[in-house]
Structure 1
Amino acid sequence: MAKFQITPFPGLVENTEFNFGSLYLYNISNPPSYASIKENNATTGWGGASLVNWQIYDGDGSGANLVGHAQGMQIHAGASHQSFTLVFENGRFKGSTLYVVGQTVRVEQAGEWSIVGGTGDLAMARGVVKVKFHEKVKDGNTWELRFHGFCSMQSLPTLTKTGPWGGHGGSVTESEQPWRIESMTIVHEGIIAMFSCSYVDLSGKRRTTGSWGGGNGIRTKVELGPREILKAVSGTYVSLYNGQTVIESLKFVTNEGTYGPYGRTTGTPFNADVPKDQSIVGFFGRADDTQLIAFGVYTV
C-alpha cells in the first residue's frame, strides 16, 4: 500500500520534504480517461495531442483506494511529452496539487518526471517522480510512481497525543511543537532513570527536551538517520516498592530498524497505536529527579 511521509528540511523557503511511495497510475486509452484532439502528421509523425484524466490509486489490488487524478495533456514532438496536474482527492493532501512534466516512460525501461510546482500543503513543490511499468491491464497499463521532493507547507499539521502510560507523580514533561526526532538518550538500569530527546520543531528550529528524570544507569544514545522516522514505541511500566508507578522499559521502531528494549520488561506492556500513514514526532509524560514516571507520544 502507499506510503506518505513528510519530514522537515533545513532550507530557507522549501522546508518540508515529502516522500510518496507505491502509488499506481492507470494509463487507460479510452474515455473518460483519454481523448485524442489532434492526430500525428502523416509525414513527420509529429503533432499528435491528447487529453488525459488518469486515475491514481494507493495500491495495485482490488482493495486500493483512489488518491486522485492526473489531468493534463500528451504531445508528440519527436518523443512523447506529457504534462499533468496531480489533483489529490482523498486523504491527508485532499485539495492540494502537484504539477508534473516529462517524457513518456517506456515499458522496458524505468524513467523520471519532474515536479515543477504545487499548491495547498504542497505549495512551491520541486522534485522528481520515479516511474516504472507495473503491469498491463485492459485498455492500457499501470505504472508505479514514487514521489520525492520539497515544498513550503502552508498550514501547520495537527499533532495528536497518544498516551501517556505509567504513573501520576512527578512533573509534566513535554516536547514543544515537535516535528522530527533527531536523537534520543535513555539511561536505564531496571527502570528508565532518564530520557531526553533532540528534535526539530514546526518552525524548523532544533531543540532538546532536557533530562526527564536524572537517575543513574546505562546510558544509550539513539541517533536517527536523515531519512529515518519513528513508526512505533512500546514498553512496560511497573509499580515500585513505595507504590509509585514508573516506566520500566522502552523500545523504538523506525522505518530502518529497531532500538531496544532498554530496561527490564517484567511489567505491564503498552504500545503506541500509530496509523500506517503517520509517524511519531515527539514525546510527553511525567518525571521526577530520579526516574521517568509516564510516557506518551505525538504523532502526525
Structure 2
Amino acid sequence: MATSTPCILQVSPSYAATQGNEFNFHGLYLYHTYKGPNANQVEIIARQQFGTLTVNNWVIRDGLSGSAKVIARAQGLHVNASDWHSSFSLVFEDEGFKGSTLQVMGVPVEGGEWAIVGGTGRFAMATGVIKKRSIIVATKIGPWGGNGGSAQDITEPPKRLESISISSGSVVDSIAFSYVDQAGQKRTAGPWGGPGGNPKTIELSDSEFVKEVSGTFGMYAEVVNVINSIKLVTNVKTYGPFGQENGSSFSVPV
C-alpha cells in the first residue's frame, strides 16, 4: 500500500535590502495602424464590436515620423469588452534594452493609463504606469472625380470625427461632417457639392472610428467625371453605399 507524504512548505524570512532602478521614458510614440499596406494589427475574431479580438504588433518610435528610430514593439492582443482591453509584451529593440521586455495591460487603447505588471531582462519584476494620449496624424488622400470645382479643406486639425452627412441619388451630390478639433471644440465642415440628392446623416459613437473609405467614380451624363458612390467602413459597421456603384472603383484605408 502506498503511503502519502505530507506536503511541507517552509517560509524563511529574508532581511536583505532590495534595491531597484527607476526608469522614465518620454517622447515615445506607439503607431496604431488599423489597415493598409503598413497595418500592424489583424482581427482574428470579428464582431460588430463586443467580442472582437485583434492581434497587434504595434511599433514604438522615438518621433512622429515613419523614419524615426524603432525603440520597441507592442506584441499581443486587445479585445473589445465594452471598451478595448489590451494585454501585450513591450519587446525592446533599442540596443540599450534589447532582449528586455515589459508586460503591459489595461484599457483603453486611445488614452488614459496602462499598467506595467512585470518584465524581463533589465526590467525583471518591473511595476509602473504608462501614461498616454492619442495623437491623430492627418493624411490627405485622393482626389477622385473630375478636374472642376473648388478645393475644400477643414480649418482646424481634427481629433475625432462625430458625424458624416451625405446627399446622394444617382451620384454623390454633397458631403458634410462634424468633428472635434485638437482643442476640444466642435467644428462643422460643408456641405460641399451640389444641392441635389437625398440626405443621410451617420452619427458615430464615442468609440467608433472610420477604417476605410471606398466608392466609384466616372462620367455622369457623358459629360462630367464625378463620384458616383461612396461607402464608409468603421470598426462597428459598414455604411452605404450611397449613390449608384457605376464606374471605376477606389478604396483607401484610413
Aligned-pair identity in percent equals 29
Question: 2:150 aligns to what?
Answer: 171
Root mean square deviation of aligned Cα:
4.5
Q: Residues 50 and 236 from structure 1, CA distance in 2 versus in 1: closer, same or farther, beyond 3 angstroms?
A: same
- The residue identity in structure 2 corresponding to 1:51 is N
Question: 1:268 aligns to what?
Answer: 248
Q: Residues 147 and 229 from structure 1, CA distance in 2 versus in 1: closer, same or farther, beyond 3 angstroms?
A: farther
Question: 2:165 aligns to what?
Answer: 185
Question: 2:188 aligns to what?
Answer: 208
Question: 2:46 aligns to what?
Answer: none
- Mapped partners of 2:252, 2:125: distance in 1: 36
Shift of 1:254: 2.0
- Mapped partners of 1:226, 1:163: distance in 2: 27
- Mapped partners of 1:187, 1:197: distance in 2: 12
Shift of 1:266: 1.8
User: What stretches of structure 2 of length at least 5 have no aligned partner?
Assistant: 1-11, 32-39, 41-56, 70-102
TM-score (norm 2): 0.53
Question: 1:227 aligns to what?
Answer: 207
237, 240, 244: which one aligns with 1:257: 237
Shift of 1:140: 9.5
- Mapped partners of 1:148, 1:221: distance in 2: 35
Question: Superposition pairs for residues 44-59 of structure 1, below 5 Å?
Answer: 47-51=17-21
- Mapped partners of 2:188, 2:149: distance in 1: 20
| 1:225-244 deviation line (CA, Å, top 9, x unaligned) | 11222222111112012411
Question: Superposition pairs for residues 73-152 of structure 1, below 5 Å?
Answer: 89=62, 127-130=112-115, 149-150=132-133
- Mapped partners of 1:196, 1:202: distance in 2: 19
**Structure number with higher relative contact order (C-alpha < 8 Å, ≥ 6 residues apart):** 1
Contact 1:181–1:198, Cα closer than 8 Å, also in 2: yes
Aligned residue-pair number: 177
- Mapped partners of 2:167, 2:250: distance in 1: 19
User: What stretches of structure 1 of length at least 5 have no aligned partner?
Assistant: 1-41, 68-87, 96-109, 114-125, 275-300
State the secondary structure of the residue aligned to 2:151. strand
Shift of 1:258: 1.9
Contact 1:238–1:248, Cα closer than 8 Å, also in 2: yes
TM-score (norm 1): 0.46
Contact 1:233–1:253, Cα closer than 8 Å, also in 2: yes
| 1:120-168 deviation line (CA, Å, top 9, x unaligned) | xxxxxx93214578xx99999899x9967548x8xxx763311111111
- The residue identity in structure 2 corresponding to 1:171 is S
Higher strand share: 1
- The residue identity in structure 1 corresponding to 2:172 is I
